[in-house]
């Protein structure tokens, strides 16, 4: 029986008499198992050595200054002059040290790269001062480190003094990687993440199109940077706030003693900050300093293939910064790939699936462009979206998507949603107090996106709303809106925001992101105002059906500097909000979590099951009597009863049939008895009374008919170090059945795993493991497939695919019995349902019969939009939903169906189908009387 449940197989076997020979054989097997388990849980051997050293480099504008850098070198043990390896420079975030990137360095060294991590000057034990990745200082430091690597005999060379080297870094280190690639053409590849394109624009943004010279000073982030560096570079607060993305270093700040005011910052950097923090405006000298430390100033020099990884939860360096880098580098013909993930400076590293995906992309990029091995990476665009909370307690879950061509922040397509509201007056508070709180530097995502606790100050903001959305709307990119403003002073600083308002009125500001705008030359009356197009921060979000959009225009924000003089502005919005989208193909993200102990247990179970099945098949003598009337029926359950020793009756009387070519859903509220019924069907427990017939044969332990049944009942469990295909082969071998009966290709084709089946299971997401488990249950193409919650843990696209898998399987005489609590999925997947309540069957039959008739119908029409207009003119017909590309679900509200169809046809609309519709959920609640409470099922 091809099943994912070792327990099911064990209990289905006949009892075997114990002999001395079996005891001896068992002892041998046990010794082997102990060795296998020990192998599974024992730490992998370290394949590299680590060297700490202080390296002196020549730096400064004239190259005549010396700085000592604290470094750590990771050298693969197999690397030597005869077997050279490529090198990676690994740069840390602001406020960090060489120790912050230790885990990444170890991973890269384990892949065969020599890795040099160092503490940037001005931080930790390194000497020197903080110059903000200046080309004259930190970039020259890194160039000298490239020279140092070129002198290492075990490092691969592309020419004299030209080591094969890549630069990887995040935030401060990401900016360094871009600048070094521009100033040193020896760099072969770079992977910058959550970093900037224009440092001036990052700290002085203006979403209205004005440049940094007139931008709004990002005082909160600037102060946090200055505080972490000025205090000696320990970076403790900064690193913790940013989830380690900026560093979180552990250095003591030794080596340089600066002034009490400037700490370890260089004088020019210190003066630039103090000036902007005091006035809220940049000087010409400050702008020049920031631009010299910006990749934007030298973007045309970058020839190294670039993988740009940027965070969606990032109020410091938003997605627009990576967008500018991508477009600038690609303009040179340099290979570029862009990946967005759900973390960032405000959101940390994001869910585990996001971390796995970006690490996989990084390894793939370096393997090809640095090590010159493996397949060439594509240049497609990937992004992810938070889809919910992992029920296992592992935190947020993100779904990844792949788009063939990078669309930028303007998206591949656009939708427009009207927002409305009268012009409103809003007050600018004196000295920016009190101020709205949209985000807090380093934790903005937690405040603005997850909890929805964003705070607006009454009287200091104007709100403009859309109507409830008629369908879910995905946004991938930077929305835009036109804003008008009037001011008695002729100037205004405004903060424009896009809120998601749910059906209960709860407002959420995606990732706490706002668009600051500084407007000048304003009229005193709104009647003379000129619309200004405001580009909102790029986001990735699904706005659900029934939610409303809210454009909020505020006068203050705690994260920014605002005019100190109190005044009153008048603001309005004009036209719709434009929402960009980038529809993508769902992708599976690799998982790097190894469940060693579980792997050992799975090995034990698989081998034990295999041995037991082989012995059981050889010793099986008993034959069962077939009931001829049911020989063509996959499953018949008659008079099933399960009563426990304490008198509790979990199932009192259950009768139902699963016929060929059907997908039957087993439904019921908690405590209804469906779980107990499924356990009996799988042989996990024995019934008190009743029969279970499979193709006319009683379901008994060891019955040959079990080979015609496949099941998934206790979740997927696989050996992570083997590929999915190897796991399937091992499982099939354990059943003892001939290899030519497995029909691997057909099972894999139905499950839709594609080439992913040849990857190691340790790279699988939960959804991929679930689909592999389905494929395992399908091995041999059993005629009856029994699945318990097959969509558990899958995201919506995966659930939709699973729906298609089950429908494809229930053909050619096969049948599926599926237990699920997702009524909407059962309604769309199953042909029949069995509804249980309090241990009994309360309804069974085709879904259409159970749902019954209702005033709600589904219309399949040639033009959905035009049909909606026609139905609206009827007055009494209310559109309630849409279904598919050509489907429309409406409430007739007493209007005859014939009249509705006639109106559509007369309008030139083709009507292909009219189907009565009532949700299965409605029928279900009616059948159980609304009682969905648990009654103590075991």
Q: Around Cβ 385, how many Cβ atoms within 10 Å?
A: 21
Higher model confidence: residue 334 or residue 935? 334
Instruction: Look up residue 507 and give its two tokens.
Output: 């407002």
- How far apart are the C-alpha atoms of 607 and 420, rounded to whole Å? 67
Q: Is omega for the bond preceding 434 within 30 degrees of 0, making it cis?
A: yes
Does residue 105 have a pLDDT over 70?
yes
Distance CA 220, CA 921 (A): 50
Q: What is the DSSP string of 81-122?
A: TTB-B-EEEEEPPTT--GGGGHHHHHHHHHTT-EEEEEPPTT
Answer with the one of 383, 403, 423 that is the final residue of a domain: 403
Q: Looking at the structure, do residues 708 and 773 belong to the same domain, yes or no?
A: yes
Asked if 451 and 437 count as a contact pair (C-beta separation under 8 A), the reply is: no
What's the pLDDT tens digit per position in 144-197? 999 999 999 999 999 999 999 999 999 999 999 999 999 999 999 999 999 999
- Average the pLDDT over 869-875 and give the result: 77
**Comparison of pLDDT for 634 and 619, the residue scoring more:** 634
Q: How many domains does the chain have?
A: 4
Whether 411 has a pLDDT exceeding 90, the answer reads yes
Domain match, 871 and 793 both: no
The verdict on residue 29 lying in a domain is no
Give the per-residue SS3 of 614-636.
HHHHHHCCCCCCCCHHHCCCCEE
- CB-count burial class (<10 Å; 0-12, 13-18, 19+) for 885: exposed
- Residue 323 placed within a domain: yes
Do the beta carbons of residue 817 and residue 664 sit within 8 Å?
yes
User: Is the pLDDT confidence value at 639 over 80?
Assistant: yes
**Residues 6 or more apart in contact with residue 790 via CB below 8 angstroms:** 712, 770, 774, 802, 806, 818, 820
Distance between alpha carbon 652 and the CA centroid of its chain, in Å?
A: 44
Of 527, 553, 585, the position where a domain reaches its end is: 585
HEC string of 64-77 equals CEEEEEEEEEEEEC
pTM: 0.61
pLDDT band at 691 (very low <50, low <70, confident <90, very high): confident
576 and 705, same structural domain? no
Same domain, 864 and 839: no
pLDDT of residue 620: 41
Q: Which residue has the higher pLDDT, 524 or 431?
A: 524
pLDDT score recorded for residue 738: 85
The CA–CA distances, whole Å, from 14 to 10, 11, 687, 712 equal 9, 8, 18, 22
Q: What local confidence, expressed as pLDDT, does residue 608 receive? A: 55
Most confident of 437-451, 521-535, 808-822, 881-895: 521-535
Range of lowest pLDDT (125-134, 203-212, 446-455): 446-455
User: Could you tell me the CATH number of the domain that includes residue 84?
Assistant: 3.40.50.1820
- Residues 568, 611, single domain; the answer is no
Kindly report which listed range (169-173, 194-198, 453-457, 928-932) carries the lowest average pLDDT score: 928-932
Per residue in 341-378, pLDDT tens?
999 998 888 888 788 889 999 999 999 999 999 999 98
Q: What is the pLDDT of residue 631?
A: 87
In 742-855 the beta strands, taken as DSSP E runs, fall at 784-788, 815-819, 832-837, 840-846
| 834 and 858 assigned to the same domain | no
Q: What is the mean pLDDT of residues 448-459?
A: 61
Give the span between the Cα atoms of 311 and 328, in whole angstroms.
19
Q: Per-residue pLDDT tens for 573-614?
A: 998 999 999 999 987 544 433 333 344 445 445 555 555 555
| Structural domain includes residue 77 | yes
Which of 218-227, 434-443, 588-597 shows the lowest mean pLDDT across its residues?
588-597
pLDDT in the model for residue 165: 98
Q: Tell me what the mean pLDDT of segment 818-842 comes to.
A: 80
- Could you tell me if residue 934 is inside a domain? no
Does the structure show a pLDDT above 80 at 476? yes
Same domain, 578 and 685: no
Instruction: State the DSSP code for 420.
Output: B
Beta bridge partners of 663: 816
Strands 87-91 and 165-170: parallel
More confident residue, 512 or 822: 512
Q: What are phi and psi of 663, to 5 degrees?
A: -115, 110
Whether residue 540 sits in one domain with residue 612: no
Q: Of 621-630, 724-733, 881-890, which range is least confident?
A: 621-630
Give the model's pLDDT for residue 248: 36
- Residues 270 and 287 reside in one and the same domain: yes
Per residue in 520-572, pLDDT tens? 999 999 999 999 999 999 999 999 999 999 999 999 999 999 999 999 999 99
| pLDDT (tens digit per residue) in 233-255 | 333 322 323 333 333 333 333 33
DSSP tag of 764: -
| Domain assignment of residue 865, yes or no | yes
Query: Are 249 and 159 contained in the same domain?
Result: yes
The mean predicted confidence, pLDDT, of the chain is 82
Residues 620-624 have a mean pLDDT of 41
Q: Domain for residue 46, yes or no?
A: no
**Which of 824, 849, 874 is where one domain is finished?**
849
Residues 6+ apart with CB under 8 A from 890: 856, 857, 859, 871, 877, 878, 879, 880, 900
Range of 336-350, 409-423, 633-647 with top mean pLDDT? 409-423
Question: Tokens 């409605």 appear where?
Answer: 922
Comparison of pLDDT for 552 and 884, the residue scoring more: 552
Higher pLDDT, 303 or 247: 303
Highest mean pLDDT among 100-104, 189-193, 273-277, 804-808: 189-193
| SS3 sequence of 676-718 | HHHHHHCCCCCCCEEEEEECCEECCCCCHHHHHEEEECCCCCC
Could you tell me the CA-to-CA distances from 495 to 485, 515, 529, 704 in Å, in that order? 12, 5, 17, 72
Percent of the chain with pLDDT over 70: 79
Q: What integer is the mean pLDDT of 696-712?
A: 78
Label residue 840 left, alpha or beta by phi (over 0 means left) and psi (-120 to 50 means alpha).
Answer: beta
Q: Are residues 557 and 673 in the same domain?
A: no
Gap between the Cα atoms of 31 and 184, Å rounded: 57
Specify the pLDDT at position 802: 77
In-domain check, residue 926: no
Reported as a pLDDT band with limits 50, 70 and 90, residue 229 is: low
User: Is the pLDDT score of 758 beyond 70?
Assistant: yes
Residue 789's pLDDT is: 80
Q: Who has greater pLDDT, 676 or 80?
A: 80
Q: Is residue 19 part of a domain?
A: no
Residue 198 sits in the same domain as residue 347 = yes
From the number of C-beta atoms within 10 Å of its C-beta (0-12, 13-18, 19+), residue 718 rates as: buried
Summarize the confidence of residues 306-331 as an average pLDDT. Answer: 96
Domain containing residue 743: CATH number: 3.40.50.300
Q: Residue 893 maps to which CATH number?
A: 3.30.70
Section 784-799 average pLDDT: 78
* Position with higher pLDDT, 21 vs 519: 519
Note the pLDDT of residue 539. 97
Residue 496 is part of which domain span?
A: 414-585
User: What mean pLDDT do residues 264-288 have?
Assistant: 93
In whole angstroms, give the CA distance from residue 548 to residue 418.
10
- What's the pLDDT at 443? 57
> Any idea what the CATH number is for the domain that residue 440 is in?
2.60.120.260
Residue with tokens 């304003």, as numbered in its chain: 522
Residue 840: predicted pLDDT: 85
């Amino acid at each position: 029986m091809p099943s994912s449940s070792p327990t099911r197989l064990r209990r289905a076997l006949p009892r075997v008499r114990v002999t001395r020979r079996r005891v001896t054989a068992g002892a041998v097997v046990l010794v082997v198992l102990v060795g296998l388990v020990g192998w599974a849980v024992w730490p992998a051997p370290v394949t590299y050595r680590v060297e700490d050293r202080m390296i002196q480099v020549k730096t400064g504008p004239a190259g005549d200054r010396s700085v000592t850098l604290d470094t750590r070198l990771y050298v693969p043990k197999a690397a030597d002059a005869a077997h050279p390896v490529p090198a990676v420079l690994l740069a840390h975030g602001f406020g960090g040290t060489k120790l912050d990137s230790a885990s990444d360095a170890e991973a890269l060294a384990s892949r065969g790269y020599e890795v040099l991590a160092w503490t940037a000057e001005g931080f930790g034990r390194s000497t020197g001062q903080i110059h903000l990745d200046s080309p004259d200082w930190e970039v020259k430091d890194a160039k000298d480190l490239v020279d140092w690597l070129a002198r290492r005999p075990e490092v691969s060379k592309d020419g004299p003094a030209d080591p094969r080297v890549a630069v990887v870094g995040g935030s401060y280190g990401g900016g360094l990687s871009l600048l070094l690639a521009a100033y040193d053409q020896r760099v072969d590849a770079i992977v910058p993440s959550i970093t900037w394109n224009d440092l001036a624009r990052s700290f002085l943004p203006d979403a209205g199109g004005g440049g940094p010279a007139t931008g709004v000073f990002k005082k909160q982030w600037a102060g946090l940077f200055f505080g972490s560096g000025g205090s000696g570079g320990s970076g403790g607060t900064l690193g913790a706030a940013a989830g380690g993305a900026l560093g979180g270093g552990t250095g003591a700040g030794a080596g340089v003693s600066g002034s009490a005011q400037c700490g370890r910052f260089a004088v020019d950097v210190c003066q630039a900050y103090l000036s902007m923090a005091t006035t809220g405006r940049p000087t010409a000298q400050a702008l020049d300093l920031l631009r010299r430390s910006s990749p934007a100033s030298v973007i045309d020099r970058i020839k190294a293939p670039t993988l740009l990884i940027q965070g969606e939860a990032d109020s410091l360096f938003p997605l627009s910064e990576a967008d500018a880098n991508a477009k600038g580098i690609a303009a040179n013909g340099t290979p570029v790939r862009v990946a967005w993930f759900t973390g960032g400076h405000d959101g940390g590293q994001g869910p585990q699936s996001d971390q796995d995906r970006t690490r996989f992309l990084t390894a793939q990029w370096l393997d090809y462009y640095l090590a010159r091995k493996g397949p060439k990476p594509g240049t497609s665009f990937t992004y992810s979206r938070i889809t919910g909370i992992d029920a296992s307690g592992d935190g947020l879950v993100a779904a990844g998507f792949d788009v063939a061509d990078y669309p930028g922040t303007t998206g591949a397509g656009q939708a427009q949603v009207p927002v409305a509201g009268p012009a409103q007056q809003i007050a600018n508070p004196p000295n920016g107090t009190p101020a709205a709180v949209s985000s807090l530097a380093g934790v903005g995502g937690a405040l603005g996106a997850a909890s929805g606790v964003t705070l607006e100050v009454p009287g200091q903001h104007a709100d403009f709303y859309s109507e409830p959305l008629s369908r879910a709307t995905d946004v991938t990119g930077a929305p835009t809106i036109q804003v008008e403003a009037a001011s008695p002073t002729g100037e205004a600083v405004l903060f424009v925001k896009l809120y998601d308002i749910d059906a209960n009125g709860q407002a959420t500001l995606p990732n706490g992101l706002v668009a600051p705008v500084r407007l000048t030359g304003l009229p005193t009356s709104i009647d003379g105002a000129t619309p200004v197009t405001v580009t909102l921060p790029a986001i990735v979000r699904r706005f659900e059906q029934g939610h409303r959009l809210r454009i909020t225009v505020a006068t203050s924000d705690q994260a920014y500097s605002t005019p100190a003089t109190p005044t009153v502005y008048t603001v309005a919005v004009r036209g719709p909000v434009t929402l960009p989208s980038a529809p993508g193909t769902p992708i599976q993200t690799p998982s790097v979590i190894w469940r060693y102990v579980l792997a050992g247990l799975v090995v034990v179970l698989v081998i034990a099951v295999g041995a037991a099945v082989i012995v059981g098949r050889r010793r099986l003598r008993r034959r069962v009597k077939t009931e001829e009337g049911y020989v063509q029926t996959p499953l018949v359950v008659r008079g099933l009863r399960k009563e426990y020793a304490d008198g509790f009756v979990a199932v009192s009387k259950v009768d139902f049939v699963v016929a060929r070519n059907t997908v039957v859903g087993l439904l019921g509220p908690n405590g209804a008895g469906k779980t107990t019924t499924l356990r009996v069907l799988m042989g996990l427990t024995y019934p008190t009374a009743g029969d279970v017939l499979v193709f006319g044969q009683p379901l008994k332990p060891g019955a040959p008919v079990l080979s015609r049944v496949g099941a998934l009942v206790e979740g997927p469990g696989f050996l992570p170090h083997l590929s999915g295909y190897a796991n399937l082969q091992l499982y099939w071998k354990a059943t003892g059945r001939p290899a030519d009966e497995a029909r691997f290709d057909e099972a894999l084709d139905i499950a839709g795993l594609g080439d992913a089946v040849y990857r190691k299971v340790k790279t699988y997401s939960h959804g991929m493991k679930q689909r592999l488990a389905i494929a395992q249950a399908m091995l041999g193409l059993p005629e009856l497939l029994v699945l318990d919650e097959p969509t558990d843990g899958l995201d919506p696209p995966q659930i939709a695919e699973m729906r298609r898998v089950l429908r494809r399987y229930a053909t050619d005489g096969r049948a599926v019995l599926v237990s699920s609590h997702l009524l909407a999925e059962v309604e769309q997947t199953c042909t029949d349902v069995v509804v249980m309540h309090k241990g009994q069957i309360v309804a069974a039959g085709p879904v259409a019969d159970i749902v019954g008739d209702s005033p709600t119908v589904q219309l399949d029409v040639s033009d959905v939009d035009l049909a909606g207009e026609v139905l609206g003119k009827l007055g009494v017909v209310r559109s309630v939903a849409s279904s598919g590309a050509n489907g429309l679900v409406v409430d007739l509200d007493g209007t005859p169906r014939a009249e509705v169809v006639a109106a559509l046809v007369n309008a030139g609309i083709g009507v292909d189908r009219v189907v009565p519709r009532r949700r299965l959920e409605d029928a279900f609640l009616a059948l159980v009387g609304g009682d969905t409470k648990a009654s103590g099922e075991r």
